[in-house]
Amino acid sequence: VHVVAALMAIGRELSELRDEVRKQGERDDS
């Protein structure tokens, strides 16, 4: 159970990082 919770937390962190990268990419395009 702890492993699943850790994986979910990691997935959340990765999705947040991906969102930040996407925002920076849009800023560079403009």
pTM: 0.59
Three-state secondary structure call for residue 30:
coil
CA distance 20 to 30: 16
Q: Name the one residue in this structure whose structure tokens are 């937390």.
A: 9
* pLDDT per position as a tens digit, 1-30: 799 999 999 999 999 999 999 999 887 766
Which pLDDT belongs to residue 30? 62
List helix spans (H) across 1-30: 2-29
